Structure 1
Amino acid sequence: MASLHQSIEIDVPVQTAYNQWTQFEDFPSFMENIEEVQQLDDQHLHWRASIGGAEREWETEITEQIPDQRIAWRTVSGAENRGVVKFEPLGADRTLLTVDVEYQPGTVTEKIGDMLGMVSANIGEDLENFKEFIENQGGETGAWRSEIH
């Protein structure tokens, strides 16, 4: 499996950043390759993406969710991946958002893209887009504050 680690500082309180990240169905608004996310229940999501011109679908299970701290997941079907998003306050109005992902490139195109650093670049762009989205939004579009262990 390949892995990546990326962080970004966001000019919103940690609660605002976390609350927006829990709005999974909004991900296509700031994630370039994600076409659709359907929240099936509190712990399960169905993803549809266009990666390197190929349609990919998978389902994930949220394995841990602690408000204002972390959200961890793993795939239960489809494109294999797992990871964690961490939220760290950097004062009252600033957040460090860190993403650690492990993934299995499937097609030859995905493997070449991974070798060229395209996955890392896409995640970096998605984080920049999230930063712009939440900072310009002026607040979160919703929130889910329960815990999953």
Structure 2
Amino acid sequence: MSTVEESIEVDVPVRVVYDHWATFEEFPQFMEGVEEVRQLDDRHAHWRTKIAGLAREFDTEIVERVPEERVAWRTTGESVKHTGTVDFQPIDAARTRVRMTMVFTPTGFAEKAADKLGVLDRQVRGDLRRFKRFVEGGTDTG
């Protein structure tokens, strides 16, 4: 198992940051390799990704949701195995710290090699930077 933890500060109030993050369909706009996220119900989503040429589809389940504080998930099924949390911490009335933690089990040669090379770490860091630009320049979804 491997763990990735990254954080970033965004110049947006926590409510706005949380509202954007909780709108999973927006993820392809700032997450590299995420082609589609389809909300199935209030706790489940179906993902279609293509990362480093490897196409995957999988489902996730929200296991914890605390508005304006935390979203935690886990994958379901056998194809992709990971869990994660995103914590939202207000710094002041207009700024928020976003911290993402993911724990995953790489399978197959390509995923294991990518893990050793730190590919997911860089991808998460880049996704958070793109999220910062997205949410700071976007509109309020709430």
TM score, norm. by length of structure 1: 0.92
> What corresponds to 2:93 in structure 1?
92
For 1:24 and 1:104, the matched residues in 2 are separated by 23
How far 1:52 moved relative to its partner?
A: 1.6
How far 1:128 moved relative to its partner?
A: 0.2
Give a deviation string over 1:78-126, Cα, whole Å, max 9, x none.
3111011000000000000000100111231111111011100000000
Q: Which moved more, 1:102-111 or 1:1-10?
A: 102-111
How far 1:135 moved relative to its partner?
A: 0.5
Structure 1: 4+ residue segments shifted above 2 A: none
RMSD value over aligned CA atoms? Answer: 0.9
Give a deviation string over 1:54-95, Cα, whole Å, max 9, x none.
111110100010100000001112311101100000000000
TM score, norm. by length of structure 2: 0.96
Alignment identity in percent?
A: 43
For 2:95 and 2:122, the matched residues in 1 are separated by 23
SS in 1 for 2:42: coil
> What corresponds to 1:146 in structure 2?
none
> Is there any run of 5+ residues in structure 2 with no aligned partner, and where?
none
Q: Work out whether 1:135 is the aligned partner of 2:136.
A: yes
> Is there any run of 5+ residues in structure 1 with no aligned partner, and where?
144-149
For 1:21 and 1:74, the matched residues in 2 are separated by 16
Aligned residues: 141
Aligned partners of 1:5 and 1:100 also within 8 Å: yes
Q: Work out whether 1:23 is the aligned partner of 2:20.
A: no
Q: Which amino acid aligns with 2:89?
A: E
For 1:82 and 1:61, the matched residues in 2 are separated by 10
For 2:101 and 2:52, the matched residues in 1 are separated by 22
